[in-house]
Amino acid sequence: MNLAAATNENLANISNTLIYSSMAVYTLAFFAHIAEWVFGSRSKVGRTAAALKEDSATGGSAGKAQVAQGGGTALLERPKVVTRSAAGTRDVPDGPGAAGGTFKGDLWGRIAISLTVVAFAVQAGGVVARALSVQRAPWGNMYEFSITFSTVAVGAYLTLLALRKNVRWIGLLLVTTVLLDLGIATTTLYTDSDQLVPALHSYWLWIHVSTAIICGAVFYLGAVGTLLYLFRDSYESKLANGGTPGKFATSVLERLPAAKTLDTFSYRINAAVFPLWTFTIIAGAIWAGDAWGRYWGWDPKEVWSFITWVAYACYLHARATAGWKGRKAAYLALIAFGCWLFNYYGVNIFVTGKHSYAGV
């Protein structure tokens, strides 16, 4: 074994160690997020119920400007600023967050974020070490794609936090998903660090696959927001209809952002990354033309990439159509993300095509 090969093998082992270390830190972050929700549950809840009760008592006119007479002069009162749901029927405030406005909850939340930052740095180091071990892009197979995908997803989440966006409510679901992703990657999808087949030796590997990873990571954040929107919207609907949600639903869903906020978050996330997904498909077609002599050959990966594009296009169009806003559009968004997941896992594992040369 020559020195270069030994150095590459050492880097591959370092990469594996860093990935396993990041999983350990993510586990600590997971328990810290659990503590954030547990201690936050001791806060006073009922903000949504109170807002709906107030809106019902005023006949739904809380947001209308009112004119009061004072000394013969008409005074226009400042209208109440509200957050309106996608259905346009409820005015409710955003919840206080996972910490529930408590000191202990917020402390554990900050600890969880700090641990997530450390885990992200360690995991990113593992991805870089994997790339250096073979001197190529670290996404030549499903194992490498998985560890890079979860790294980018956490990076996107931390970026939103750095931009002072109130998205800490994603933390627990994100860390849980990352642990599942890394668990599957290290046990089922693991592939030894090795060189690629000739067809993948192209600069398009850096462009096409990297944009696919970024799109998937951002689509994932949008899917989380959409899923939580459906739960929160059902919670608000039950309260609006005079129902009494269970203690668990009250404790958890009450602290989430309002349904409108979650709906808007998901829409903006998906709309922002959709053009990049369009570019990803175009870049893949150009690369296919260089590698295989045709731009489109109805390969399963190509077909499902296009199906995913169509699904997200339908979602974005539905958002602009009055009769399909709210829950109907949310279902389309989840179907679209389901198409992306199948394109990644299902096509690669269960369907044979020209994209199968990299193995799992």
Tens-place pLDDT, residues 64-109 = 434 444 444 343 344 443 334 454 456 788 888 888 888 999 999 9
Average the pLDDT over 12-35 and give the result: 96
Residue 198 forms part of a structural domain: yes
Q: Which pLDDT belongs to residue 244?
A: 80
- Would you say residue 57 lies in a domain? no
* Number of neighbours of residue 220 by Cβ within 10 angstroms: 25
Check residue 58 and give its pLDDT.
54
Would residue 239 count as lying in a domain? yes
Using only the alpha carbons of the chain, give its radius of gyration: 24
Mean pLDDT throughout 264-276? 94
User: Is the predicted pLDDT of residue 297 greater than 50, yes or no?
Assistant: yes
Give CA–CA dist 260/19, Å, rounded: 37
Residue 58 covered by a domain: no
Angle at 117 between CA 114 and CA 120, to 5 degrees: 150
pLDDT band at 202 (very low <50, low <70, confident <90, very high): confident
**Model pTM score:** 0.83
Coarse DSSP helix, strand, coil percentages of the chain, rounded to the nearest 5 percent:
70, 5, 25
- What three-state secondary structure class fits 180? helix
Mean pLDDT of 52-66: 50
pLDDT tens for 148-193 read: 999 999 999 999 999 888 899 999 999 999 999 999 999 998 888 7
| Better-predicted residue by pLDDT, 68 or 350 | 350
pLDDT of 276 higher than 80: yes
Q: How much is the pLDDT for 1?
A: 43
Is 110 a residue whose pLDDT tops 90? yes
State the pLDDT at residue 158: 96
Residue 18 lies in a domain: yes
> Pick from 302, 277, 309: which is nearest to 354 by CA?
302
pLDDT of residue 199: 61
In the structure encoding, which two tokens stand for residue 280, read together? 């990803």
Q: From CA 19, how far away is CA 347, in angstroms rounded?
A: 25
Predicted confidence at residue 37, as pLDDT, reads 92
The predicted-structure confidence for 216-254, as pLDDT tens digits, reads as follows 999 999 999 999 999 999 999 988 888 888 887 788 889
The verdict on residue 41 lying in a domain is yes
Q: Tally the domains of the chain.
A: 1
> How is residue 295 written in tokens?
């731009």
Range(s) of the domain holding residue 253: 3-50+83-358
In a domain, 66, yes or no: no
- Which of these ranges, 28-32, 133-137, 257-261, has the smallest mean pLDDT? 133-137
**Average pLDDT value for residue range 58-67:** 44
77 is a domain residue: no
More reliable by pLDDT, 95 or 28: 28
- State residue 274's pLDDT score: 96
> Distance of alpha carbon 197 from its chain centroid, rounded?
32
Banded model confidence at residue 345, pLDDT cuts 50, 70, 90? confident
Mean pLDDT (the chain, rounded): 82
What is the average per-residue pLDDT within 119-138? 93
